[in-house]
């Protein structure tokens, strides 16, 4: 069963930091993945054109589609305009799964994008909050195994040269340590962690696997 995945971030590099390994795992499974970057990151380090090119290179690295929200960096609010941008992305991609910032964050854009996504995704069955370096409260209960995709995540992040070189928030060493930490919590080698806003577990059979057509023959009565 192929899924349609939408990952939403306020700025270029937010998505890669929060769920880049998971997106790589989705692509490896054949799922369609779109990244929606709500602003161009005009007020962070690096020129806008440079940040745009970096985001495009990172999306190519992850083999994901990239779309821009064209809102203004540091001035995002959870208003009708922001909700409309996200609603359109959910509708256009017919997303089964939506990844977005955690609601408690010291960056106002991250908080606004998380809140706007809950409004835009009111009919979505799966919304998972990822952690950013500026997230303040985060108690994850859902994890993805990214052991095979940590290198891809770090390679995608490295495309954001203006951030890796100028922002203490973007540190590949911290990203790897965090993946190992969440891996230990999830009982795998490396993991990304999520707080679900809503998560419907799909129990329909996986079509690529052979179907179990017969129940195992249990004895009708337990022998005395
Ligand atoms: Zn950000």
Which H helix or E strand runs over 84? helix 80-93
Tell me the CA–centroid distance for residue 209 and ligand 1, in Å: 39
For the chain, state the CA radius of gyration.
Answer: 19
Q: 94 Cβ partners below 8 Å, 6+ apart?
A: 4
Q: Extract the residue ranges of the chain whose pLDDT is less than 50.
A: none
Q: What is the pLDDT of residue 170?
A: 80
Q: What is the pLDDT of residue 218?
A: 56
Report the alpha-carbon angle 84-202-17, nearest 5: 55
The model carries a pTM of 0.90
Tell me the CA–centroid distance for residue 215 and ligand 1, in Å: 50
| Extents of the domains making up the chain | 4-199
Q: What is the pLDDT of residue 213?
A: 54
Tell me the CA–centroid distance for residue 9 and ligand 1, in Å: 7
Tell me the CA–centroid distance for residue 111 and ligand 1, in Å: 10
Tell me the CA–centroid distance for residue 39 and ligand 1, in Å: 9
pLDDT 10s digits, 61-113: 999 999 999 999 999 999 999 999 999 999 999 999 999 999 999 999 999 99
How is domain 4-199 classified at the CATH fold level?
Rossmann fold (3.40.50)
Q: What is the pLDDT of residue 217?
A: 58
Tell me the CA–centroid distance for residue 109 and ligand 1, in Å: 7
- Eight-state DSSP code of residue 190: S
Tokens of 197: 């806003």
Q: What are phi and psi of 48, to 5 degrees?
A: -60, -45
pLDDT 10s digits, 43-56: 877 788 899 999 99
Tell me the CA–centroid distance for residue 189 and ligand 1, in Å: 27
Tell me the CA–centroid distance for residue 8 and ligand 1, in Å: 11
Tell me the CA–centroid distance for residue 92 and ligand 1, in Å: 23
List strands edge to edge, sheet with 97-101: 65-71, 32-39, 4-9, 97-101, 126-130, 191-199, 142-145
Tell me the CA–centroid distance for residue 14 and ligand 1, in Å: 5
Q: What is the pLDDT of residue 223?
A: 56
């Amino acid at each position: 069963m192929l899924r349609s995945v939408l990952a939403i971030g306020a700025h270029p590099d937010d998505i890669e930091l929060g769920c880049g390994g998971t997106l790589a795992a989705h692509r490896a499974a054949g799922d369609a993945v779109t990244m929606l970057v709500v602003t161009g990151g005009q007020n962070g380090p690096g020129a806008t054109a440079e940040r745009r090119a970096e985001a495009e290179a990172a999306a190519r690295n992850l083999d994901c589609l990239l779309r821009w929200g064209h809102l203004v960096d540091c001035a995002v609010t959870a208003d009708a305009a922001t909700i409309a941008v996200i609603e359109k992305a959910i509708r256009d991609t017919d997303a089964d799964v939506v990844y977005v910032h955690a609601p408690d964050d010291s960056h106002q854009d991250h908080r606004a994008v998380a809140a706007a996504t809950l409004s835009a995704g009111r009919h979505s069955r799966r919304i998972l909050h990822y952690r950013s370096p500026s997230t303040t409260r985060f108690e994850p209960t859902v994890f993805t195994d990214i052991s095979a995709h940590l290198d891809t995540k770090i390679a995608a992040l490295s495309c954001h040269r203006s951030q890796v070189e100028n922002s203490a928030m973007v540190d590949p060493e911290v990203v790897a340590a965090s993946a190992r930490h969440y891996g230990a919590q999830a009982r795998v080698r490396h993991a990304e962690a999520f707080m679900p806003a809503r998560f419907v577990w799909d129990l329909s059979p996986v079509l690529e696997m052979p179907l179990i057509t017969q129940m195992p023959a249990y004895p009708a009565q337990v022998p005395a």
